[in-house]
Amino acid sequence: MKILLTADPELPVPPKLYGGIERIVDLLVTGLQARGHTVGLVAHSDSSTRATQLFPWPGKQSQNKLDTFKNTIALWSAVKQFQPNILHSFSRVFYLLPVLGSRLPKVMSYQRYPSPRTTSLGAKLGKGSLTFTGCSNYICRVGENAGGIWRPIHNCVEVDKYTFQPKVAAEAPLVFLSRVEQIKGTHTAIAAARKAGRRLIIAGNYATTGEAGQYWREQVLPHIGKDGIEYVGAVNDAQKNQLLGQAAAMIVPIEWEEPFGIVFAEALACGTPVISSPRGALPEIVRNGVDGYLINGVEEAVAAINQLPYIDRHNCRHRAEQCFSASVIVEQYEQLYKNIIDFTY
């Protein structure tokens, strides 16, 4: 197959630091080419992934109207040059506008909340040639309300890049690894760790302005350096691997409907149990009592921390290998392409 992929224009593929969608696209490019397919990519000009052909976006901002117009024309040109059997977008529905009505099979993937307006428009103009995927069953259920054909395909990680740690020390710390903000539940992780008498290492970016900055200053910063609460800043892939591997659990008790959250799969790949909340896609990632615990509030979080010795870290690693590894997810996309092409032609 000749497959043309697109990623958002803001970040290169793969990203230098953060960029979950760009990591997924990079794994897809690599995995599909390893399976013998020819893969083109429309992405940021600094992208270094080994696609057969790179078509750089002329515009670098998804929300800029002029850039959107330029990128729409650029994607149309790339389709005409590359002549793909299927077009798979991880960017914007609007970029597909010139080819939506054509018979070219198209896939639009959402790793975030789908816009009801653009999703509905894409489904109508696609006339059956556009299939939507969501990174979780939860996102698919949200998207289906706007119409269209939806298929859930989870996000993935390169499992082999994460070192499985079958055992950790009895005094191993808890780790919070995410953006430090209200919806990620940093304050709940701090309260639970303090009440359970456990060390907590916080890693991730934080804001300095607005409500998020106020949250950092008032609900997180006053606890840093006290009662075993430590902040280590943002971490790269190597640091993330080490941090998660040494943890008794990763605790990110979210307060929003998480579309997926790749960091949860990364923790499981290290054999590290996850403590989070039963919201969004988390019940699809964590089997309560098997790979970690899904909790509501501080008291349940403390109980989960005390029950961590009952979690077999081999189960966590196996969960990542069987459900969220790059090879498994690439195969699911490959099969989806074949089914769509067979149906279209």
pLDDT at 65 over 80: yes
pLDDT mean across residues, the chain: 95
Q: Are residues 93 and 192 in the same domain?
A: no
Q: Are residues 317 and 179 in the same domain?
A: yes
Q: Are residues 190 and 316 in the same domain?
A: yes
Surface-to-core class of residue 179, CB atoms within 10 Å of its CB (0-12 exposed, 13-18 middle, 19+ buried) = middle
Query: What is the C-alpha separation between 250 and 98, in angstroms, rounded?
Result: 45
CA angle 311, 314, 320 (to 5 degrees): 105
pLDDT at 206 over 60: yes
pLDDT digits (tens, 9 = 90+) for 250-264: 999 999 999 999 999
Q: Are residues 337 and 309 in the same domain?
A: no
Q: Which two tokens mark 30?
A: 């690599």
Q: Are residues 254 and 337 in the same domain?
A: no
Whether 264 and 284 have beta carbons less than 8 Å apart is answered as no
Q: Are residues 83 and 214 in the same domain?
A: no
- Region 178-207 average pLDDT: 97
What number of residues does the chain have? 345
Per-residue pLDDT, 20: 81
- Region 328-344 average pLDDT: 92
Number of structural domains, the chain? 2
Per-residue pLDDT, 345: 56
| Proportion of the chain above pLDDT 70, given as a percent | 99
For residue 329, what is the domain's CATH number? 3.40.50.2000
Domain range enclosing 102: 2-156+325-344
Angstrom distances, CA of residue 311 to CA of 126, 133, 314, 322: 47, 32, 9, 18
Residue 8 CB neighbour total at 10 angstroms: 23
Q: Are residues 132 and 82 in the same domain?
A: yes
Angstrom distances, CA of residue 18 to CA of 10, 48, 52, 178: 12, 15, 24, 11
Angstrom distances, CA of residue 224 to CA of 39, 87, 229, 233: 47, 48, 5, 12
Query: What is the C-alpha separation between 51 and 161, in angstroms, rounded?
Result: 21
Query: What is the C-alpha separation between 90 and 321, in angstroms, rounded?
Result: 24
pLDDT digits (tens, 9 = 90+) for 222-279: 999 999 999 999 998 899 999 999 999 999 999 999 999 999 999 999 999 999 999 9
- Region 190-202 average pLDDT: 98
pLDDT at 17 over 70: no
Q: Are residues 41 and 81 in the same domain?
A: yes
Q: Are residues 198 and 329 in the same domain?
A: no
The one-letter code for the residue type at 297 is G
Per-residue pLDDT, 141: 95
Q: Are residues 215 and 297 in the same domain?
A: yes
Per-residue pLDDT, 326: 95
| Residue 214 host element (H or E) | helix 210-215
Per-residue pLDDT, 325: 96
Q: Are residues 69 and 170 in the same domain?
A: no
Could you tell me which residues come within 8 angstroms of residue 222 by beta carbon, excluding any fewer than 6 positions away?
Answer: none
Q: Which two tokens mark 100?
A: 């939506």
Per-residue pLDDT, 79: 98
Q: Are residues 165 and 94 in the same domain?
A: no
The torsion angles phi and psi of 175, rounded to 5 degrees, stand at: -130, 130
Question: Is the peptide bond preceding residue 14 cis, with omega within 30 degrees of 0?
Answer: yes
Strand 2-6 relative to strand 86-89, pairing: parallel
